[in-house]
Amino acid sequence: MNEVDFDPIQVEVWRHMLAEIAEEMGGTLQRTAYSPNIKERLDHSCAVFDSEGRLLAQAAHIPVHLGAMPLMMDALRNSVNWPPGVMWLCNDPRYGGTHLPDITLIAPVYEGQDLIGYVASRAHHADVGGLAPGSLPLSTEAFHEGLILSPVMLVENGALRNDILGLVCANSRTPLERRGDIAAQVAAIETGARRLLSLSVTYGRAEFLKRAAESIAYAEAMVRRTLFTLPPGTYRAEDVLDDDGAGAIDIPIRVAVSIDHDDVTNHAQIVFDFTGSALQVKGSLNATEAITRSACYYVVRCLVPDEIPTNAGCFAPITVIAPAGTIVNARFPAAVAGGNVETSQRMTDVILLALAKIVPERAPALSQGTMNNVTIGGHDEERHRPYAYYETSAGGAGASPQSDGLSGIHTHMTNTRNTPIEVLESHYPLRILTYSLAGGSGGAGAQRGGEGLVRRVQLLSGARVTLLTERRLHAPPGAQGGGDGRCGANTLLLPDGEEVQLPPKWSGDCPAGAVLTITTPGGGGWGRVQVDFTSKK
């Protein structure tokens, strides 16, 4: 299909209709979820696929799921059976999983006897077992990180399989939350299936297929057109992760970004080659291929100036080379809990550093480069129940050529909210003592980097605390002469007054009354500050 064949009105109408299915699925999941992590933080994504398993729409939820959802769809489509009335549950890294707390549910959608597509929901469950509450431990193999669900049939012939649901709940420290959150995912799937079927019935199967194919072709054409505006060539960059929590430090990630033009069609393609990155590490910062693809897809999607459908067409011009056995494509059973949340951010940083060599006038300075993961869990003595709390904290965004970086915001591969203090304190034995901007943490420049946050949490019951954080040793760089953002810091104040500076990756038992302080990094500044030496002031 050539660009001249597109009906722009129909493309736009169908972009919204398909995306709204995924958005409504997300709304159902949010409203019916049990845990604050899904209901309040919105740590979930929903997607719609056609009958060939191609992504038709994905709601604007979590960027790190951009490449992961399609990869899992590809892995499952030909490896399990898809009769009407089934839903498959999976979190296995070998099937497009990211890390074990991210559980995906996928179901086929039929119109009569004809398969018309699939709908999927992925949600981060606050605990799926493993070495530490929250299932983001300082692990050294996947088996430490929780229950591994190679695709299992959760719903069969339209009926929930209580044996499978019971298995998942039995392996969690918070089984009631798991039961409620999985029920919410089932509800989201049912919502998506009804809406997709309604779309096909309302407009007719032939029109549905035509407009879905047109949407994919249009997205591909627009991405190729954008890439054609970039100068061809190969551009390299590298950066490092602080540590893996198991002895490795300054772990390099390298990328070569190649842009190729086809002058006949005025189209282009882009290749991300991570050859030369570190071998997979002992700790949990290893990323799966799905995560690496997500980082690449996210950055390319950001390059497109227009609103276009987010579907399989966006990814067609993109090739990702992630050598197996490296930190960007680790072999099972490598530990991967932190790869999804931390290594994904550093891969994004490295790609942006390469793009700064291609289009310096458009590339921003680096943002905080971490999700500042905190898990706290134990027994809630007041409510007489176990609990597992998970939070990622916002930080400073990198400044751009046009404006200062935003302060106290989630950036790049994460798009979650914070847990509101009122909800947090009513649900967990925790008290927030401070929640403020970290003044002066943003990098200086013609455009200043955004400020990080200071968050002080007091434990009201003894608990196990685990930290997976980055940019504690290496600051987010500024761009075009702008200053670096300030590193983050982790501090524990014990009840006896002793203050302990914690490393980027840490896990330990803390007594009631201890205060954990997380200071998140600021963003880098953009451009040199221009000093007027002629001023009389």
What one-character-per-residue DSSP string does 181-220 give? HHHHHHHHHHHHHHHHHHHHHHH-HHHHHHHHHHHHHHHH
Beta strands 249-262; 267-273: pairing state: antiparallel
Instruction: Tell me the residue type at 57.
Output: A
User: Could you give the CA distance from residue 11 to residue 14 in angstroms, rounded to a whole number?
Assistant: 5
Q: What is the pLDDT of residue 392?
A: 96
Three-class SS of residue 394?
A: coil
Structure tokens at 260: 């190729």
- How would you label 344-382 residue by residue, b for 16+ Cβ within 10 Å and e otherwise? bbbbbbbbbbbbbebeeeebbbbbbbbbbbbbbbbebee
Query: Domain limits at 196?
Result: 3-217
| Domains: count for the chain | 2
The Cα 177–Cα 426 span in angstroms is 15
Q: State pLDDT tens for residues 270-309.
A: 999 999 999 999 999 999 999 999 999 999 999 998 889 9
pLDDT at 6 exceeding the cut of 90:
no
Residue where a domain terminates, one of 190, 217, 244: 217
> Which class for 160: exposed (0-12), middle (13-18), buried (19 or more C-beta within 10 A)?
middle
Q: Does residue 420 belong to any structural domain of this protein?
A: yes
Give 265's pLDDT tier (boundaries 50, 70, 90).
confident
Report the alpha-carbon distance of residue 349 to residue 345 in Å, rounded. Answer: 6
Residue 16 domain-assigned? yes
Asked if the structure places residue 292 within a domain, the reply is no
Average predicted confidence (pLDDT) for the chain: 95
Q: CA–CA separation, 268 vs 246, rounded Å? A: 42
Examine residue 320 and state whether it is found in any structural domain, yes or no.
no
Q: What is the rounded CA–CA span in Å between residue 414 and residue 202? A: 36
Residue 259 has pLDDT above 90, yes or no: yes
pLDDT in tens, 133-187: 999 999 999 999 999 999 999 999 999 999 999 999 999 999 999 999 999 999 9
Say what the pTM is: 0.94
If you count them, how many residues does the chain have?
537
Q: Is residue 74 part of a domain?
A: yes
What is the spatial distance between Cα 274 and Cα 317, in angstroms, rounded to a whole number?
17
Q: Which single residue is written with the structure tokens 């810091």?
A: 489
pLDDT for 267: 81
Cis peptide before 333 (omega within 30 of 0): yes
In the chain, the largest separation of any two C-alpha atoms, in whole Å, equals: 81
% of the chain at pLDDT higher than 70: 98
In a domain, 133, yes or no: yes
Helices (H), 304-374: 312-315, 337-338, 344-358
Q: Judging by DSSP bridges, how do beta strands 159-160 and 318-321 pair with one another?
A: unpaired
Is 364:352 a contact under the CB 8 Å cutoff? yes
Domain boundary at 217, 234, 268, which? 217
d(CA 46, CA 99): 17
| Paired tokens of 223 | 């991405």
| Cα–Cα nearest to 212, from 11, 66, 46, 9 | 11
What distances in angstroms separate CA 322 from CA 55, 249, 274, 326, 505, one per listed residue?
A: 22, 21, 5, 8, 25
Could you tell me the sign of the dihedral formed by the alpha carbons of 241, 243, 246, 248, in that order? Answer: positive
pLDDT band at 1 (very low <50, low <70, confident <90, very high): very low
Residue where a domain terminates, one of 182, 202, 217: 217
CA–CA distance, 524 with 477 (Å, rounded to integer): 5
Determine what percent of the chain falls in helix, strand and coil, rounding each to the nearest 5. Answer: 30, 25, 45
Q: Is residue 225 part of a domain?
A: no
* Residue 322 near residue 292, CB atoms below 8 Å: yes
Say whether 124 sits in a helix, a strand or coil: strand
**Token code pair at residue 46:** 């929903």
The larger pLDDT score, comparing residue 310 to residue 3, is at 310
The conformational region for residue 119 under phi > 0 = left, psi -120 to 50 = alpha, else beta, is beta
CA–CA distance from 393 to each of 38, 149, 171, 374, 469 (Å)?
A: 15, 28, 27, 8, 10
Helix or strand (DSSP H, E) at 472: none
| Residue 377 located in a structural domain | yes
